[in-house]
Amino acid sequence: MMAAENVQTFTDGNFDDDVLKSGAPVLVDFWAEWCGPCKRLGPTVDALATEYVGKVTVGKLNVDENPKVSFQFQIRGIPTILIFKGGQVVESVVGLAQKEDLKKVLDKHI
């Protein structure tokens, strides 16, 4: 799953600076290579990144390669989407979600 245009790659290393200290709301898609539904959700997240460019930072975090952040936010199932604002989790969407539903959730925070 290559990151599309406007989609950031979050890691244990950059999470503090790029997500928690971000001025804008941030959507983080927790995924892994071995997760079929994550691959299905990927294009939806890519589309949201394009639609919300300049309003919401959108990125993906590979749970396999970044155990620290995954553990910190008690990720126990993927795909999970967390939306951060001011360093806090303001929304959590577990499992497959449709673009329209994710947009409704995002629109509450911009």
Task: Map residue 97 onto helix, strand or coil.
Answer: coil
Q: Are 27 and 107 in contact (CB under 8 A)?
A: no
User: Known catalytic residue: 39?
Assistant: no
What is the spatial distance between Cα 15 and Cα 105, in angstroms, rounded to a whole number?
Answer: 22
Choice among 3, 4, 32, 35 that is catalytic: 35
Amino acid present at 51? E
Choice among 1, 7, 28, 38 that is catalytic: 38
Q: Fill in the DSSP letter of residue 78.
A: S
Name which of residues 48 to 107 contact other proteins (CB under 8 A): 63-64, 70, 74-80, 92, 94-96, 98-100
From the CB of 23, what's the least distance to other proteins, in Å? 28
From the CB of 47, what's the least distance to other proteins, in Å? 9
Query: Taking CB under 8 A as the rule, does residue 2 contact other proteins?
Result: no
What is the spatial distance between Cα 89 and Cα 48, in angstroms, rounded to a whole number?
Answer: 18
Query: Taking CB under 8 A as the rule, does residue 4 contact other proteins?
Result: no
Query: Taking CB under 8 A as the rule, does residue 45 contact other proteins?
Result: no
User: Known catalytic residue: 31?
Assistant: no
Tokens of 41: 């959700």
User: Which sequence positions are flagged as catalytic?
Assistant: 35, 38
